Chain A
């Protein structure tokens, strides 16, 4: 990555632009922004900034639109690592190098792409791995080991689904795992007519033992150094300057690697990693978060916690209130008990550590509201900003309770596009599908709101996420939930200052005003002047992060 930044960090550079959208209510649009020491010295017209003394005028953004650098409030840096595998998704998607991979519309085209990749491999035993498969869009045909055997029967092959909850493998992979046999009795491993597993593996307990043979190792959730650098490139290409890594194990070695990479002078994004509440007590987790907080740097904001209350809606593991799943599936699973969450919230509030909690089903959301509500009676904590992540099925009453408890919400706007049709037809039915990710209700109720991609579950790209919340179009082209649409200005706020607020960072990032980080998303097109259906296509030139300029074209 080339650094075409400012010669001296103490000098002042004034950038001129076609338009600077500031998200600062006292001056929403300006023409110039002055930068010194990686921070915003001032925004306004040139005359108002000249009083700061000597400066260099940089007019390279003369025909560009500047926004505050986008803040992605729920992503996982592992997306950077996944790009080492063959992309098998239905939708077009850009890799860290900027190459756009065409979406594959049939199982045959997936197999063809895998065959191309296979033909380039030298070592005959090396596993071939793919990701982002989504047969829902391919007539819902099931993929079997025989399909993948047609790519190769000699080397192990595994293709991870877009949801991350299903893995397809070939016969060789089953053989290596000792599972190419009859008599296997497990709900997560369907058998073919011949009594041998079909190669479809559902859930981590079946995916893990086979996954290690097809290149998906156990610590997939933690990106390595190269993965993190690649993720940084995706940030530049999508205008992101601050990004969460929403639930990492954050063991010592992983933390060191993350501090090292984010500390490199060419690394372009501020990473906010949250410690996963799993496999340790509430006290241990908060203690660890505090210890990590002590190691935090400007570019690596350690010291927050993520908890998970339930599973996923499309996986039928989300916890639903009555009347439950539309297709009659049994209620989902709790990942954390209310007593454990209560412990966590209490200890974290006392230690001034922020907790974000994943809820998908409305029963999980209700449980968190009850639990935090009762803890806050004992431990009042003004401005805690505990945030519900996903929170996809919350109804109006639940948003009112969030408001009453001073909670924030980060809604999964992208999900609506990718799986909205499935939810309408199968999982929750029409009425609840219309209110999923109810951005309008959140804003009208006064709940501080962000919207997210959950990359790699859906692609990183705040402008796409904004488009999804504004248009609420599903993959089949239907508008689902007309009444929950929000305005472009509201969506742009959600991907900047809105997301920054949920991280307690709105005093530093999320708007272009004096004193804040010099973090900008640099766009070729002005999303406020495009048709609302087109804002996802506003072109990203690159970013400025901490005053350093990162053109996507020279990554």
Chain B
């Protein structure tokens, strides 16, 4: 199944910048980006290899497609691509409620939800959330998020930033809040497909408030219990992915995005081990190892 990440957030929160950043750092992961419409600046010009009607070909085997008002059809086209993309990224419209997009994946057996990442403008979000018309749309988007990218933190005053963080956790208790400037975040945070590569390459993670650790279970575990424990806010994880041996001897794949977790059957030859991406200082090896 192809993982699908929904990038939500109100107009002007920096979704387009983030998408370009991910495409620029795709490094061999073949991304398919679905956007509501090609705005004037949907994709940075230097990334574009060719453009047909509603498909832009991007360096490195990535594509960007506009889905207009028919996301289902666009996803159907993605599933039929040969070879299929490694990861689909849906940049939802400024008024979209991201959970309704994720819900609709139920009908697309070729796809699996890889979480909802919502961009929030650190400087203006509380003002947008009290907007006469759009306030409840903004708070619904925040409530839907598995991960919030708190963007433009460089523009927000220090005290205000703390207040914004506290406010975000009131809107969505379990959400993982990652700070960024100009949508620049480690791609691993947004897309699970990158997390796998982070482990393989032992890549260093920036910014410095994040960390990657791999934990090795010492024996068979109850995968569902473990996944649920990893998704608990107190563990400090943003994402986790890996394989474990279940109590009955079969293999399971564990995927965690913030508060969301998924356990599925896996092939027997998969080696045990879970890559964990979390907040430095909050995520500790002792806590993680105590869980396995």
Q: With A and B bound together, what is the CA distance between A206 and B137 in angstroms?
A: 22
Shortest beta-carbon distance from B262 to chain A in Å: 13
Say yes or no: B133 contacts A279, CB within 8 Å.
Answer: no
Contacts A334-B95, A336-B95, A337-B134: A205 and B72 contacting too (C-beta < 8 A)? yes
Give B1-42 as 1s and 0s: 1 = Cβ < 8 Å from A's Cβ atoms: 000000000111000000000000000000000001111100
Whether A404 is near chain B, meaning CB under 8 Å from some CB there, is no
Whether B103 is near chain A, meaning CB under 8 Å from some CB there, is yes
A-B contact count (CB 8 A): 77
Whether B60 is near chain A, meaning CB under 8 Å from some CB there, is no
Shortest beta-carbon distance from B256 to chain A in Å: 19
Give B122-156 as 1s and 0s: 1 = Cβ < 8 Å from A's Cβ atoms: 00000000000110110000000000000000000
CB < 8 Å: which of B67, B109, B137 contacts A279? B67
CB < 8 Å: which of B67, B95, B109 contacts A335? B95
CB < 8 Å: which of B11, B107, B136 contacts A205? B107
Q: With A and B bound together, what is the CA distance between A336 and B133 in angstroms?
A: 11
Say yes or no: B133 contacts A218, CB within 8 Å.
Answer: no
Whether A281 is near chain B, meaning CB under 8 Å from some CB there, is yes
CB < 8 Å: which of A185, A186, A319, A337 contacts B11? A337
Say yes or no: B107 contacts A209, CB within 8 Å.
Answer: yes
Question: A118: which B residues are within 8 A, CB to CB?
Answer: none
Chain A contacts with B in 317-340, Cβ cutoff 8 A? 319, 331, 333-340
Whether A176 is near chain B, meaning CB under 8 Å from some CB there, is no
Question: B40: which A residues are within 8 A, CB to CB?
Answer: 281, 283
Question: B69: which A residues are within 8 A, CB to CB?
Answer: 276, 278-279
Max chain A C-beta neighbours (<10 A), residue from B12, B109, B133, B136: B133
Whether B248 is near chain A, meaning CB under 8 Å from some CB there, is no
Question: A9: which B residues are within 8 A, CB to CB?
Answer: none
Say yes or no: A337 contacts B94, CB within 8 Å.
Answer: yes
Q: With A and B bound together, what is the CA distance between A185 and B106 in angstroms?
A: 7
Chain A contacts with B in 139-197, Cβ cutoff 8 A? 177-179, 184-189
Q: With A and B bound together, what is the CA distance between A319 and B133 in angstroms?
A: 9
Whether B97 is near chain A, meaning CB under 8 Å from some CB there, is yes
Whether A284 is near chain B, meaning CB under 8 Å from some CB there, is yes
CB < 8 Å: which of A185, A187, A209, A210 contacts B108? A209
Q: With A and B bound together, what is the CA distance between A339 and B137 in angstroms?
A: 14
Q: With A and B bound together, what is the CA distance between A363 and B94 in angstroms?
A: 18
Q: Is the interface of B mostly helix, strand, loop or mixed?
A: loop
Whether A280 is near chain B, meaning CB under 8 Å from some CB there, is yes
Contacts A186-B106, A205-B103, A205-B107: A338 and B133 contacting too (C-beta < 8 A)? yes
Q: With A and B bound together, what is the CA distance between A184 and B107 in angstroms?
A: 9
Say yes or no: A334 contacts B133, CB within 8 Å.
Answer: yes
Say yes or no: B133 contacts A367, CB within 8 Å.
Answer: yes
CB < 8 Å: which of A177, A178, A186, A334 contacts B137? A334
Chain A contacts with B in 205-233, Cβ cutoff 8 A? 205-206, 208-210, 218
Q: With A and B bound together, what is the CA distance between A331 and B97 in angstroms?
A: 13
Shortest beta-carbon distance from B92 to chain A in Å: 12
Whether B73 is near chain A, meaning CB under 8 Å from some CB there, is yes
Question: B109: which A residues are within 8 A, CB to CB?
Answer: 178
Give B76-100 as 1s and 0s: 1 = Cβ < 8 Å from A's Cβ atoms: 0000000000000000011101001
Contacts A333-B97, A337-B134: A281 and B72 contacting too (C-beta < 8 A)? no
Shortest beta-carbon distance from B125 to chain A in Å: 15
Contacts A218-B70, A338-B134, A339-B11: A281 and B39 contacting too (C-beta < 8 A)? yes
Q: With A and B bound together, what is the CA distance between A177 and B72 in angstroms?
A: 13
Shortest beta-carbon distance from B211 to chain A in Å: 33
Q: With A and B bound together, what is the CA distance between A328 and B136 in angstroms?
A: 16
Shortest beta-carbon distance from B65 to chain A in Å: 11
CB < 8 Å: which of A189, A279, A333, A338 contacts B66? A279
Q: With A and B bound together, what is the CA distance between A308 and B133 in angstroms?
A: 15
Contacts A184-B106, A185-B106, A335-B95: A278 and B68 contacting too (C-beta < 8 A)? yes
Whether B218 is near chain A, meaning CB under 8 Å from some CB there, is no
Q: With A and B bound together, what is the CA distance between A284 and B68 in angstroms?
A: 12
Question: B93: which A residues are within 8 A, CB to CB?
Answer: 337
Chain B contacts with A in 44-79, Cβ cutoff 8 A? 66-73
Whether B104 is near chain A, meaning CB under 8 Å from some CB there, is yes
CB < 8 Å: which of A177, A188, A334 contacts B134? A334
Q: With A and B bound together, what is the CA distance between A336 and B108 in angstroms?
A: 26
Give A519-545 as 1s and 0s: 1 = Cβ < 8 Å from B's Cβ atoms: 000000000000000000000000000
Chain A contacts with B in 265-302, Cβ cutoff 8 A? 276, 278-281, 283-284
Question: A189: which B residues are within 8 A, CB to CB?
Answer: 106
- B99: nearest chain-A partner, CB-CB: A187
Shortest beta-carbon distance from B38 to chain A in Å: 8
Q: With A and B bound together, what is the CA distance between A333 and B137 in angstroms?
A: 8
Say yes or no: B68 contacts A209, CB within 8 Å.
Answer: no
CB < 8 Å: which of A186, A249, A279, A334 contacts B36? A279
Q: With A and B bound together, what is the CA distance between A367 and B134 in angstroms?
A: 10
Shortest beta-carbon distance from A367 to chain B in Å: 5
Q: With A and B bound together, what is the CA distance between A387 and B66 in angstroms?
A: 29
Shortest beta-carbon distance from A364 to chain B in Å: 9
Say yes or no: B37 contacts A281, CB within 8 Å.
Answer: yes
Shortest beta-carbon distance from A169 to chain B in Å: 13
Q: With A and B bound together, what is the CA distance between A303 and B36 in angstroms?
A: 23
Chain B contacts with A in 192-209, Cβ cutoff 8 A? none
Q: With A and B bound together, what is the CA distance between A188 and B106 in angstroms?
A: 11
Say yes or no: B104 contacts A279, CB within 8 Å.
Answer: no
Shortest beta-carbon distance from A405 to chain B in Å: 18
Say yes or no: A337 contacts B103, CB within 8 Å.
Answer: no
Say yes or no: B136 contacts A331, CB within 8 Å.
Answer: yes
CB < 8 Å: which of A206, A218, A338, A339 contacts B107? A206
CB < 8 Å: which of B39, B66, B73 contacts A218? B73
Question: A249: which B residues are within 8 A, CB to CB?
Answer: 68
Say yes or no: A280 contacts B68, CB within 8 Å.
Answer: yes
Contacts A185-B106, A186-B106, A367-B133: A279 and B95 contacting too (C-beta < 8 A)? no
Q: With A and B bound together, what is the CA distance between A333 and B136 in angstroms?
A: 10
A-binding residues in B (CB < 8 A): 10-12, 36-40, 66-73, 93-95, 97, 100, 103-104, 106-109, 133-134, 136-137
B-binding residues in A (CB < 8 A): 177-179, 184-189, 205-206, 208-210, 218, 249, 276, 278-281, 283-284, 319, 331, 333-340, 363, 367
Name 16 interchain pairs, CB-CB below 8 A, sorted by A: A177-B107, A185-B106, A186-B103, A189-B106, A205-B100, A205-B107, A208-B70, A209-B72, A209-B107, A210-B107, A279-B66, A280-B68, A284-B38, A319-B133, A337-B94, A340-B94
The 7 A-B pairs at the shortest CB distance, nearest first, are namely: A279-B68, A205-B104, A209-B107, A334-B95, A278-B69, A186-B106, A208-B72
